[in-house]
Chains A and B, each alone.
Chain A
Amino acid sequence: MLRVEHLTKVYPNGTRALKDVSFQVEDGEFMAVIGLSGSGKSTLLRCINRLIEPTAGKVIWDDIDITAVPASQMRQVRRQIGMIFQQFNLVKRSSVMTNVLSGRLGYVSPYQSLFNYFSPADHQRALDNLEQLGLADKAHVRADSLSGGQQQRVGIARALMQEPKLILADEPVASLDPVLAHSILKYLEQMNKERQITVVCSLHFLDLVHRYATRAIALKDGQLVFQGLPKEIDDAQFKAIYGQEAERVSIV
């Protein structure tokens, strides 16, 4: 279980990105985070694995306070939390295999990994994950030779290498066209159901939230403005989250 308590983030330039945000995610949930651009979604996800240091508040996961873990032990925490990014964040010049294997870095000896050494078991695991994502034949091509949808699947494979219990997905489909968006989210849903990986995923489109999420929270200007089931987001809620001007749009 992931519990976020009174989380606040103030950037050095004075921007208050998160204001006293509290919520919790049960194991095995697919939690969607919605809100406008700049509402604090990315900051929230990054505070969970402390890519960004929160200013105040706690993130408690499996009874460990992540915000209090010393830097030397963050490795043990982070390796159990996979992350997927809007811009895929692959090393474009490295091969798909190297990108996927880099998901094991939290486990392997730092010195062996300096020489690009990974155990045969890790290689097999990488191939299995690529296979499951339909990319087995792409293992040895350079990452930048793949299409956007393929790159994001490599991103998922990298996260799966961590054998995570939790996946944080920051707008994983915002850079992809609608058809691919469904394909990527289906993979996430599959991982969520088959491997019981908890997913916290920020999304732009409400109909994607309705289709995939088991629960949703909404942020507006860094504040939590909604918490509940996706179907509970009615027109009034919608206007509260996105502003009076907003119109509902849907994709495919």
Chain B
Amino acid sequence: MNPSPPTNNPLLATVLSLFIPGAGQFYLRDRRRGIAIFTTAIVSAVLIYWAQDNFRTAVTGGTKMALWALLGCFLVWNIVDAYRRARRQASSDLIGLLLPVLIIYIIGWQVTDVRLDRLVTRFGNALKIWNDIIHPDLFTQDAAGNWLPSENFGYIFGSIANKPASGWLVRLGLVQQDALVPTFQAGKIIETIALGLLSTIFSTILAVPLSFLAARNIMSRVRGGTVIYYVMRTILNIVRAIDTLIWGLIVVLWVGLGSFAGVLALTIHSIAALGKLFSEEVEHIDPGPIEAVTATGANLIQTIRYAVIPQIVPPFLAYTLLRWDINMRSATIVGFVAGGGIGFFVVESLRKAAYNQYAAALWAVAIVVMIVDYVSAKWRERIMVGTTQVASEPPRPFYKSLRTWFYLIVGTAAFVYFWQLCEINLKDLLNPAPTFGQLVRSFLSFNLEPEVTDAVVRQMLITIFQALLATTLGALMAIPFSFLAARNLTGRSRLSIWIYYLTRGMFNLLRSIEAILYVAIFFYWVSFGNFAGMLALAVTSFGLIGKLFSEAIENIDPGPLEAITATGATRLQAIAYGILPQIIPPFISYSIYQWDINVRMATIVGFAGGGGIGWLLYNDYFPFMKYRSAGTAVALIVIVVAVMDFASAKIRERLV
């Protein structure tokens, strides 16, 4: 610490902190600490005050008292801290940190409506739905005892039925008019794949030009470009903060319910997400080659062709593949609101309480998403690492390669097929329903009446707490498992390799299904509401955090471990000093990252009965055309998500 001038008066510091929390520390020139204490005290007080009326146990008042008491303890700690610091005595940060955390979690526990008793008393329901999950409606036995795909299998994956021949077959003279030909009828999961692919293609095409407008290094060279840059960045951030499903609510009013609405919702969100990633990539290109190519006398077009494009194509492709993976996941749920895809099927089967059909859909989603996840990751790896050519032969031009033509033809055919499957009709974009005009007009004239703002803020806070609790729960459960899924620690025995693959497989399976799809399970188990939504979020978080944690463990540097072992330390000491310091920062960083993701996800779990702000939008504002209130809710979501995004990025930057 800096040598403090002798004016440090312990009494004054103590008195200052007594009246204004943190003021004593501020006076002692520890400004950051002072501000942190002051903010913490104010935020805790406001939260407790707010939460008082939102307790389910408000009648008992016990928790209320406990919370105020904890806050009191924090204030006392703050006074003691000021006194001890003024006298240059050691003061423990731990208590000061622990008390607010305790307050936050107690409030979170209350407002998310955590009811552990229900997990036990309604365990029978859990068993029932578990039974459905392991017996999905995919296969049936016929009279002779042969296993056959069930009708539900056909709905999900596709079936072959005799249908009147389509026009082009007749015109080619292959079959006669009105003849019945076996036709493949795509199931809902095929439709989901189509949604994911088409939205990725559309959003990539649209995001590329936008990304140049949102790249600072490009726009700063153009007159008035900086203004365009800021406008573009703001628009991208707003659009990105609104989840695909919320876009779904909006676009169904534009083009009507159906697959096309799904594609549109996915595309809109994805353009903004890709636009941001692409523009950051454009900003990070190496200016060296541009300079070198300019120096050879190349003109602007040539410079872009030879110095810019080779640099951005591989990362753009990699981001597109990443987005394909994400869009595929979103495509499985966009049907909750927009129609189209497996999400729509899930809603229908839940409405019929056909849980074995729902279970079948979950399995289908898991399989498809895991495959896409794997393919996308491998492909990205290949692009970023690049093929190490050692051949001294010049590569064959692409148009002479048979494989290229094969991919081109198959790709085009698939594109046309998917286009028809998704019933893409661009004309619909020009003929929105009359209510859409109303929506657009009302959306930006926010409804700021107290009852609306009260409800919106309240549900938003619940959403944030849901995300916090889900992240904590997911992370706590993931920690022990992540050690089992870290290859460098599991050892070489056959058993441990099995454990490794099983744990990894579990993580991949659980994270392949979006939280909103899990809500139904907990809906059935603990009844609908914030608790169910929180648990659903926790399951997906568990899978994702588990994967990230285990990779973090695998990436540790073995050097320190070796060095500490060499000092004669025991195995336990070696772990404590060689491994823990290396994994704690990434663990915290990933948990914060997951909280950020969970806040976004928590805004939509309400669509399936999981509580939070999504519940308000889906069950109250949109069905009753309260678009002004909806606008208020969405605006708050945008603000919260943007702040979380910014804050989590800043904190993680500091940690790593």
Contact = CB atoms under 8 A, between A and B. Distances in A.
A179 B286 CA distance: 27
Contacts of A83: 292, 295-296
B310 interface: yes
Interface in B269-311: 286, 288-289, 291-299, 301-302, 305-307, 310-311
Contacts of B302: 105, 110, 113-114
Nearest to B392: A137
Interface in B372-407: 386, 388-395
B638 to A, nearest CB: 36
A145 B301 CA distance: 27
Interface in A155-173: 155, 158-159, 161-162, 168
Interface string A45-84: 0000101000000000000000000000011111111110
Nearest to B391: A140
A82 B298 CA distance: 12
A226 interface: no
A76 B298 CA distance: 10
Nearest 4 CB-CB pairings of A with B: A106-B297, A79-B297, A89-B288, A105-B298
A30 interface: no
A129 B355 CA distance: 71
Interface in A100-139: 102-107, 110, 113-114, 137, 139
B432 interface: no
Interface of A: 49, 51, 74-83, 85, 87-95, 97-98, 102-107, 110, 113-114, 137, 139-142, 144-145, 155, 158-159, 161-162, 168
A95 B390 CA distance: 11
7 contacts: A78-B297, A83-B292, A85-B292, A91-B307, A94-B306, A102-B306, A113-B305
A162 B297 contact: yes
Residue of B289, B291, B395 with most chain A CB atoms under a 10 A cut-off: B289
A140 B288 CA distance: 21
Max chain B CB contacts within 10 Å: which of A80, A110, A137? A110
A139 B306 contact: no
Given A85-B292, A89-B291, A93-B314, A110 B386 contact: no
Contact of A110 (B296, B299, B392): B299
Contact of A102 (B288, B298, B299, B386): B298
Nearest to A90: B289
Given A89-B291, A155-B292, 20 more contacts: A78-B294, A78-B295, A78-B297, A79-B297, A88-B288, A89-B288, A89-B292, A91-B293, A91-B306, A93-B310, A95-B395, A97-B394, A102-B298, A113-B305, A114-B302, A114-B305, A140-B389, A140-B392, A145-B389, A158-B296
A75 B389 contact: no
A104 B298 CA distance: 8
Contacts of B386: 93, 142, 144
Most buried by B among A77, A85, A102: A102
Contacts of B395: 95, 140
A105 B389 CA distance: 25
A140 B310 CA distance: 15
A104 B306 CA distance: 11
Q: Which of A49, A140, A168 has the most CB of B within 10 A?
A: A140
B306 A105 contact: yes
B291 to A, nearest CB: 6
B298 A87 contact: no
Nearest to A81: B295
Contacts of B301: 110, 114
Contacts of B297: 74-80, 105-107, 162
A51 B295 contact: yes
Given A97-B394, A155-B292, A91 B299 contact: no
Contacts of A141: 388-390
Contacts of B296: 78-79, 82-83, 102-106, 158-159, 161-162
**Which label, helix, strand, loop or mixed, suits the secondary structure of the A interface?**
mixed
Contact of A139 (B286, B289, B305, B392): B392
Contacts of A114: 301-302, 305
Contacts of B298: 75, 102, 105-106
A7 B48 CA distance: 69
Contacts of A92: 286, 311
A174 B299 CA distance: 29
Interface in B27-51: none
Contacts of B294: 51, 78
A85 B307 CA distance: 15
B291 A85 contact: yes
B299 to A, nearest CB: 6
A159 B292 CA distance: 9
B383 to A, nearest CB: 10
A147 B66 CA distance: 66
A182 B404 CA distance: 46
A48 B302 CA distance: 21
Contacts of A77: 297
A80 B296 CA distance: 8
Nearest to A123: B394
Contacts of A104: 296
B302 to A, nearest CB: 5
Contacts of B310: 91, 93-94, 98
A110 B300 CA distance: 10
A83 B46 CA distance: 64
B295 A93 contact: no
Contacts of A145: 388-389
A105 B391 contact: no
A201 to B, nearest CB: 15
Contacts of B295: 49, 51, 78, 81-83, 168
